[in-house]
Structure 1
Amino acid sequence: MFTGIVEEMGEVVSLTQRDDMPLWDGTKGSGTELTVKASIMMEGAYLGCSICVSGVCLTATELDYDESIFRVGLAPETIRRTYLGDLKTGDAVNLERASEIGGRNSGHFVQGHVDDTGEIIDRWTDEDSLFFKIKVTPDVLAYIVPKGFIAIDGTSLTVCEVDYQEKWFTFMLVEYTQKKIIVPAKKVGDRVNLEVDVLGKYSENALAALIPRLEALEAKVESLEKALVAGK
């Protein structure tokens, strides 16, 4: 679990395709490996720990403390759902270590499970604030509400406006945040990783389970009312 408060911006060292990755049964398989240079992430890091890379929860598979680099594997699902597979050497990524139990959460509950990517279709400034407009799919937009939480490239942010017909939403970055994350460097046409507030998903799931029971109860009440009317 993460908070969406980015701790540092790391630098992509390499993104490589490997065919010698060890599998559970001792055989070798192919896969994608991402190597990132960072400093804060190495503090307290251990093999198997979780690191949020631009909104994606990934497992550290190799640590080089002398060079201040860590390596993570990108599963096919990760490549399909995010833009991490398009990263190039020298690109910046947002980084956050897993949150500590009992620690402060200045953002919101971020799982690092990206739902989809969105496309930047506009950006502008309002005094010292930087605004972005993001085009998204209807499936993702259903969980986005004005003034609600959303994680953009792993950063906990507040939704400003939502247009459900045109399928876009906006968010803004205050002056302090602009200097701490990678989003301000992105241009119109670039993609961002999106994770909606998981509480919305849980609420929908709970409601979906409750609705059939309510409908059955309403039908039973209606049947009893008809029986009472017929018996008069």
Structure 2
Amino acid sequence: MFTGIVELIGTVQEYNEFDESSSGGQGVSVVIKDAAPILKDCHIGDSIAINGICLTVTEFDVEAGTFKVGISLETIKRTNVSSWKPNSKVNLERAVSQDVRFGGHYVQGHVDTVASIVGIEPEGNAVNYSFQLNQTNDDKKYMNYIVEKGFICIDGTSLTVVSVDDNNAIFSISMIKHTQENVIMPLKGLGDLVNIEVDLTGKIIEKQILMAVENQIEKEDSLLSKMITKIVDKRIQKYLK
């Protein structure tokens, strides 16, 4: 679990598409450098969020300030990992411990999809960013969980949604000066992709409601079933008249 409060900006040192080593998992692996401050209490198997993606440390060197992670094909499909190159900057956050103050919001590190930056507008010392989800049915559904003044995690950064355009799958956030100085967003431009994790709370509520409704419909003597039957009977009677 993470908070969406970025601890450090790291740098991609290596991006290996075919890593045959045991720590590379015989697949895609990434080595991150400039990470010494967050490796002092690191152990093999620990979770570190890189641009909001929860990844497992398979190798690390405190003195060199580097660590390595393996990346699955599912993660590559869902995220902007394929755009990472040597010297790319990335947001880093360790998984929370018992003594961490919860300053952001509940973040799993399970990226739902990506969005492209479609607007960058300075406003005082803040910057307003607009993002558009991919215009596919699967991606657009995530707009159901993006609400004005709600939480959203963008490239591992906990932010507040300030506006939503459901029809065009566009939403925006406002980033204060302090955040700009401690995350990678200002290094990106129009058209660049960012990782999106919507607020888990919305998903949980939706599933609970759907399950409750389905259970009510399946029971003939439930209040909902009786209500539906009553409405249908009224409509039929009205039609027969």
TM more than 0.5 = yes
Contact 2:154 2:196 in 1 (8 A): yes
What's the counterpart of residue 128 of structure 1? 125
Q: What is the TM-score with the length of structure 1 in the denominator?
A: 0.90
Gaps of 5+ in 2: 134-138, 234-241
Could you tell me which amino acid in structure 1 is paired with residue 193 of structure 2? Answer: R
Q: For the structure 1 residues 224 and 34, does the alpha-carbon distance in structure 2 shift closer, same or farther, using more than 3 Å as the test?
A: closer
* CA deviations over 1:138-193 (Å, ceiling 9, x no partner): 12111100000000000000000000111100001001100000011110000000
Shift of residue 104, structure 1, vs aligned partner: 1.5
Alpha-carbon distance in 2 for matches of 1:47, 1:133: 37
Superposed CA RMSD in Å reads 1.9
What's the counterpart of residue 26 of structure 2? 30
> 3-state DSSP class of the match of 1:142?
helix
Shift of residue 19, structure 1, vs aligned partner: 4.7
- 1:204-219 equivalent positions in 2, closer than 5 A: 204-215=206-217, 216=219, 217=222, 218-219=224-225
Q: For the structure 1 residues 220 and 122, does the alpha-carbon distance in structure 2 shift closer, same or farther, using more than 3 Å as the test?
A: same
Contact 1:17 1:30 in 2 (8 A): no
Shift of residue 221, structure 1, vs aligned partner: 5.3
What's the counterpart of residue 57 of structure 2? 60
What's the counterpart of residue 239 of structure 2? none
What's the counterpart of residue 86 of structure 1? 83
- 1:155-194 equivalent positions in 2, closer than 5 A: 155-194=157-196
* CA deviations over 1:69-102 (Å, ceiling 9, x no partner): 0000011111111111220111100000010135
What's the counterpart of residue 69 of structure 2? 72
Shift of residue 223, structure 1, vs aligned partner: 5.8
> 3-state DSSP class of the match of 1:199?
helix
Q: For the structure 1 residues 219 and 73, does the alpha-carbon distance in structure 2 shift closer, same or farther, using more than 3 Å as the test?
A: same
Alpha-carbon distance in 2 for matches of 1:51, 1:148: 24
Q: What is the TM-score with the length of structure 2 in the denominator?
A: 0.87
What's the counterpart of residue 230 of structure 1? none
Alpha-carbon distance in 2 for matches of 1:31, 1:7: 28
Shift of residue 113, structure 1, vs aligned partner: 0.2
Could you tell me which amino acid in structure 2 is paired with residue 3 of structure 1? Answer: T
Shift of residue 219, structure 1, vs aligned partner: 2.3
What's the counterpart of residue 143 of structure 2? 141
Segment drifting more, 132-141 vs 153-162: 132-141
Q: Is 1:100 matched up with 2:102?
A: no
Alpha-carbon distance in 2 for matches of 1:224, 1:150: 41
Contact 1:119 1:192 in 2 (8 A): yes
Q: Is 1:17 matched up with 2:17?
A: yes
Q: For the structure 1 residues 208 and 222, does the alpha-carbon distance in structure 2 shift closer, same or farther, using more than 3 Å as the test?
A: closer
Contact 2:161 2:172 in 1 (8 A): yes
Alpha-carbon distance in 2 for matches of 1:91, 1:221: 58
Shift of residue 41, structure 1, vs aligned partner: 1.8
Alpha-carbon distance in 1 for matches of 2:45, 2:207: 31
Gaps of 5+ in 1: 227-232
Shift of residue 66, structure 1, vs aligned partner: 2.0
What's the counterpart of residue 226 of structure 2? 220
Alpha-carbon distance in 2 for matches of 1:34, 1:61: 10
Q: What is the percentage of aligned positions where both structures have the same residue?
A: 37
Alpha-carbon distance in 2 for matches of 1:155, 1:130: 15
